[in-house]
A = this chain, B = another copy of it.
Amino acid sequence: MKTSFIILAATLLMTAFPTQAQTSDRRLLSMEDVILNRELTPKTLPVRWIGQSDSYAWIDGTNLCATDARNNKRRTIISLDELNSLLSTSFKSFPAYTFDDEQSLVVAAFGMRNTIDLKSRTVVSKHKIPVGQNLTRQSGKGGLYAYTRDNNVYCFDGEREHAITSFSDPNIVCGQSVSRNEFGISGGIFISPDAKKIAFYQKDESAVTDFPLLDITTRTGTLKNIKYPMNGMASEVVSLGIYDVASRKTVYVEVTDFDKERYLTNITWSPDSERIYIQILDRPQKNVHLNVYNASTGKFISQVLTEHNDRWVEPQHPLVFITGDPTKFIYSTNNRDGYWNLYLCNDGGVIKRLTATDADVKYVAQDAKNIYYTSAEVSPIDNHLFKVDIATGKQTQLTKAEGWHDVVVSGSGRYFVDTYSSLKVPRVVEIGRTDGKPAREIFRADDPTVGYNFAEISLGSVKSADGKYDNYYRLIKPLDFDPSKKYPVIVYVYGGPHSQMVKNTYLGQLRRWEMYMAQRGYVIFVMDNRGTSNRGAEFEKAIHRQCGQAEMQDQVAGLKWLMTHDWVDAERIGVHGWSYGGFMTISLITNYPDIFKVGVAGGPVIDWKWYEVMYGERYMDNTHNNPEGFAKTSLINKAKDLKGKLLICQGAVDPVVVWEHSLSFVRECIKNNVQVDYFPYPCAEHNVFGKDAVHLHQKITNYFEDYLR
C-alpha cells in the first residue's frame, strides 16, 4: 500500500450481490457443502508452458493438447490411448506430466519416470524412481535423486542407491527441513545445477526437549514423542553438508557466524555449482549475514552483505541469478526500504534497488531485459504483475483487470498465463503478453454458487487503532438482510503474521462457513489487522514483543466501526479463530469481556513460552529478555477475567501448538472456578480436515446457536 493513499474512515470498496434475484427456491448451504463440496469452488483450466517455447499444454478431454500463444493454433500432443499404448498403462484420465524440453514429455507410472520423444513417438528412457521421503530430483533430463529414510539421506544415481549419511542416533536428522519450516525453508535437499553435488541440512536435536503425544489408534495407546524446542530453551543445531556424487565424500560448510543455534536459510547454488550462498541468521533474529562458501571444500569465501534490525530480520527468499550474467543475482529483503523489494547484487553487495515500490513485491521471472514481479502497489487486496527494465528501472503494470492475479511467465518470456479472480469474478484464465499488448481469454469459470442463496459480501477498509493504516475487511450481511432489525455478529479472526484473510478474490476469500452463518442470520466480519502480511515492515512489526496487543486494538477498532450501524446487536458479539486466531479469540474475550459474549477458539496459543523458538522468538524475543511482554500477553493471566461463553477446540496430537497450551488454560479456569468449554479432536494435529471438519464446524455453529442467538 502506498502511504500517500489514504481512505478516510471506513470506505466501502466493493460489494458482491447475488447475481440472481433472491428467491426462496435457491438452496442454503449444508455443512457438507461448507467443508466438502468441491463443486462450489470455481473451475479452472490448468495449463503448462512447454520448455522455452511460446506454446502451452493443456488437457482437453482425454487428449494432451498444445496451443501456440502467438497465433492461438491448437494441436494434439498425444492422446490418452497412444500414451497408454506406449507405456502399457491403462490410465482412465490423462495423468500428471511435465516436459524435459519441447520434444520430451515425461510421465511417471509404476515407479518409473518415462520420457517420451514426441518426434519419434517412442519411449526413449525409463528411470526408476527411488522410494523415500523428501524425494528431490535434479533439474533437466538426468536421473539423479536424493531422498531420506528415517533420519538419513540417500542418493540414487539411476542404477544404485548410496547412503550419504548413516547416523544411528535419532537426534541427528539429515535431509529434512529444519528450523520448523520458518525463513522460507520447506525442504532439506539441494542438488547442484550440474547434479554433481548434493547439499543437505543436518540438525542435531539432542538438546531439544521431547513433547509427548498420545496415539489412541493402537491397541493399548502408545506414545509418539516429538522434539519441540520451546521459547528460551535449548534449540536444534543446524549444519549444511555437501556430498560429492563422484567421490561419495561429504564436506560440511564451515559456518562461524553467531553462535551454534544460528539459522542457515535460503540455500542457493551458484549457476556454476562451485559456490553455495547462505543467508545466516542469529538465533535472536536481529542480524543476517549473506555469505558465500566453496562447495567443494565448505570453506568461507566472502560475505556479500549483512542486515540488522532492532526488532527482527526475516530472510524468506533464495537468491535468483540473472540468466544472462551469472555474476549477478536478485536478492529480496524488506529490511532496506520498508517493503519487500528486489535488489540487484553481486558478490560485492548491492548494486542497485531493482523495484522502487512502496509495496511488497515478489519475484516471478526474468528475461534478458526485464524482471517480472507481482506486487501490492495498486492495492493491498489486489495482486498485479509488473515488469521492471533492469537497465533503466522503468516499471510497467502488465495485468489490468482488478483482482488477484497468479501468473506464470513462459520460457520465452513473451507470454504469461494469468489466472485471476475478483469479488464478483469466479475465475478467468488469460494468455497475457509481456509487451503490454492485449491478453487473450482462454477460460472463464461459471459462478458455482448459482442455485444457492448467498448473502451480500462487501470488502472495505477501516482505520487501524493508531490511525495510520487502512485495515481491509470482508463483511457479510445476513441473508434477507433488513436494516431495521438487529443481528448478532461473529468476528472471524486470524490476525497473525504471514496471513492475509481479505483479498479481492472471488467472494473476497470467503470461508464458506461464514456464508453458512450469514444464511442463519449472523453478520460476519473479518479484518486483517496490524501484524499481518503484504502491508510492509512497519505494519507487520507493530506487534513486536507483545503479540496480540496491536492486533486486538485494531480488531476492536474495526468492530466499533461496525457497531455504529443500527442493525448490529451490540449485546450479541461473538468471535472465532484458530491457531493465532485462537489466541486472538481468547485474548479478545478476556481483554474485552464486555464486548465479546461468545468465543470459539481452536488450537490456541495460550502463552508464548510454550511456542516454538523459531517463530516465537522473532515476534516475542524470549522469556529471559522480555518477561513483561510474556506476562502481558499470557492468557494464563487472563483466565480469571473470562466472563463470556468460550469453547476451545484442540487437535489432541497437535505438534504445532502443543496440548500444554489449551490444557493449561483450562487448568487455570478451573483454579479460578471459571466455566469454559472444551472439545478435543483426538486424531487431529494442528488443523482438522475432511469429515472431521464437518463435525467441527457443526460444533462451532451449535455453540453460537446455543449461546449467541
Binding site for B on A (CB under 8 A): 209-212, 214, 216, 219-223, 225, 228, 230, 233, 609-610, 652, 658-660, 663-664, 666-667, 669-671, 673, 675, 677-683, 691-692, 694-695, 698-699, 702, 706
* A617-B315 Cα distance, complex, nearest whole Å: 60
Contacts of A666 in B (CB 8 A): 679-682
Which residue of the partner chain B has the closest CB to A220?
B209
**B212 touching A219, Cβ below 8 Å:** no
Which residue of the partner chain B has the closest CB to A673?
B695
**B223 touching A223, Cβ below 8 Å:** yes
Specify which of B221, B228, B695 is in contact with A670 (CB 8 Å cutoff).
B695
Tell me the smallest distance from the CB of A697 to a CB of chain B, in Å.
11
Specify which of B220, B673, B678, B683 is in contact with A230 (CB 8 Å cutoff).
B220
Specify which of B220, B660, B698 is in contact with A675 (CB 8 Å cutoff).
B698
Tell me the smallest distance from the CB of A635 to a CB of chain B, in Å.
14
**Given the known A-B contacts A220-B228, A223-B212, are A675 and B695 also in contact in the complex, defined by CB atoms under 8 Å?**
yes
Tell me the smallest distance from the CB of A153 to a CB of chain B, in Å.
29
* A542-B219 Cα distance, complex, nearest whole Å: 29
**B706 touching A680, Cβ below 8 Å:** no
**A699 touching B675, Cβ below 8 Å:** yes
**What are the 3 closest A-B residue pairs judged by CB atoms, nearest first?**
A212-B223, A221-B660, A663-B682
**A679 touching B682, Cβ below 8 Å:** no
**Given the known A-B contacts A667-B682, A692-B670, are A220 and B211 also in contact in the complex, defined by CB atoms under 8 Å?**
yes
* A633-B652 Cα distance, complex, nearest whole Å: 26
Q: A212-B212, A212-B221, A221-B658 are in contact. List 9 more A-B contacts (CB 8 A).
A: A210-B223, A214-B659, A223-B225, A663-B682, A666-B682, A670-B681, A673-B691, A678-B680, A680-B680
* Cβ contacts A to B, 12 pairs, < 8 Å: A211-B220, A214-B659, A216-B664, A220-B230, A221-B659, A223-B223, A652-B663, A666-B681, A673-B691, A673-B694, A675-B695, A680-B680
* A462-B420 Cα distance, complex, nearest whole Å: 73
Contacts of A219 in B (CB 8 A): 230, 233, 609
Contacts of A695 in B (CB 8 A): 669-670, 673, 675
Which residue of the partner chain B has the closest CB to A650?
B680
Contacts of A223 in B (CB 8 A): 210, 212, 223, 225
* Most-contacted residue by chain B among A667, A670, A691 (CB, 10 A): A670
**B220 touching A233, Cβ below 8 Å:** yes
Tell me the smallest distance from the CB of A673 to a CB of chain B, in Å.
5
**B211 touching A667, Cβ below 8 Å:** no
**A216 touching B660, Cβ below 8 Å:** yes
Tell me the smallest distance from the CB of A214 to a CB of chain B, in Å.
6
**A677 touching B675, Cβ below 8 Å:** no
Contacts of A609 in B (CB 8 A): 219
* A212-B653 Cα distance, complex, nearest whole Å: 13
Tell me the smallest distance from the CB of A32 to a CB of chain B, in Å.
9
* A692-B672 Cα distance, complex, nearest whole Å: 9
Contacts of A210 in B (CB 8 A): 222-223
Tell me the smallest distance from the CB of A493 to a CB of chain B, in Å.
24
Contacts of A667 in B (CB 8 A): 216, 682-683
Tell me the smallest distance from the CB of A653 to a CB of chain B, in Å.
10
Contacts of A702 in B (CB 8 A): 675
